[in-house]
Amino acid sequence: MSKLPFVLLFTAMTAFFWGIYGIVLHKGTSLMELKEKTFQGEIGVSLRAFVGVGLAYFLIAVLVPVALLNRKRETGFWSVSGTVMSLFAGAVGALGALGVTLALAFKAQAIFVMPIVFGGAPVVNTLLTSYLNKSFKQIKPMFLVGMAMVAIGMIGVFLNKPQPKAVDGEVALNWLAVGLSIALAVLCWGSYGPFLHIGQSKMGGSRLRPFCCVGIAYFLIAVIIPVVLLESMAMHQTSGYRIPGMIWSILAGTCGAMGALGIILAFTYGGKPIFIMPLVFGFAPVINTIASIVEKGKFDSLNAMFAGSLLLGILGAVTVLLNAPKSAPHGKPAPAPEPAGVPSVPSHVPEPPESPLSSS
């Protein structure tokens, strides 16, 4: 396990960037132009901030990898199955982010949205990974206990963080829309890691190629589709872009892209989705809460329940790491396909029979 420090380092990198993602994105949304304080206007500013996220992904996860791939040779190769799976992973990641964006746009409070998302996503991740690896029998009771500790601790952190002041005259929630948005985020973010891991393995362990596919998927879902919706639904009449809002939204997308890169690097050094993703979803909300407290300067609001929940989440994450199911070794990555017209060389060439003249 000499590579474990690198696995933990890049896992922590993802948890950090995804932990501050929501705060930065909320800042970008609040700085967009809200022409009319209507439901359509709120959706409009959320989609415009989401466009900034997609632009950041296009820059960091598409243009930069393409430039690096053209300048130097990287381990791995392009393959149809790996490209399709990596694009699919990027699509579910983008749809998960859209689910959170819509839930908050529907006036749901992050105090209950994020605990459900970050608590449900690791469960989906574990079930999907175990199904794909056929490793249900290898799940230890202590692994499930660790996941429960992470979920309970995370919920406790959110429930005991500084509460915003209630606003009179708030519009009643559309619980069906909120519930569907949260379900979309849970299912998509829970599936993101396993599918990305498969895509990377089908590209011979490449780092830049699956990352590029994720960026392309984000560009399609977070830029092209929102722009079309904003124009077709005439939301430009109720909302608009502002430079400060776009800057913060692009910074939010940068955080998301760097988190995605951290997951790919953790996989590169031998990390598995079944314990990488629970660690990320365990620590990201804690970082989010701490960052929110630092931003608002509400250190006097900390209490024993918050500290206890934080400690429980950390201990649960360590338990998950120590008791993660071990899948069967995958062996060496498949070799890159040979160019057409080049004869293949057999892996084993039989030796010629020994000549009688050579015998002693």
Pair of tokens at residue 181: 């948005």
Which distant-in-sequence residues (6+ apart) come within 8 Å of 353 by Cβ? none
Interaxial angle between packed helices 141-159 and 110-133, expressed in degrees from 0 to 180 and rounded to the nearest 10: 160
The SS3 call for residue 33 is: strand
Highest mean pLDDT among 123-132, 144-153, 259-268: 259-268
Please tell me the distance from the alpha carbon of residue 63 to that of residue 207, in angstroms, as a whole number: 14
DSSP 93: H
In angstroms, what is the C-alpha Rg of the chain?
23
Q: Would you say residue 23 has pLDDT above 50? A: yes
pLDDT of 135: 75
pLDDT of 358: 40
Cα angle at 355 between 351 and 356, to 5 degrees? 145
Q: Would you say residue 356 has pLDDT above 60? A: no
- Measured in whole angstroms, the distance separating CA 321 from the mean position of its chain's CA atoms is 18
pLDDT of 289: 76
Question: CB-based burial of residue 349 (10 Å sphere; 0-12 exposed, 13-18 middle, 19+ buried)?
Answer: exposed
Please tell me the distance from the alpha carbon of residue 284 to that of residue 115, in angstroms, as a whole number: 11
pLDDT of 221: 95
Q: Would you say residue 222 has pLDDT above 60? A: yes
Boundaries of every domain in the chain: 4-162+173-325
pLDDT of 298: 61
Pair of tokens at residue 143: 């692994």
Please tell me the distance from the alpha carbon of residue 103 to that of residue 109, in angstroms, as a whole number: 8
Has this prediction a pTM greater than 0.85? Answer: no
List pLDDT tens digits, range 273-314.
878 888 888 788 778 777 877 776 666 666 788 778 878 877
List pLDDT tens digits, range 157-184.
767 766 555 554 455 667 888 889 989 9
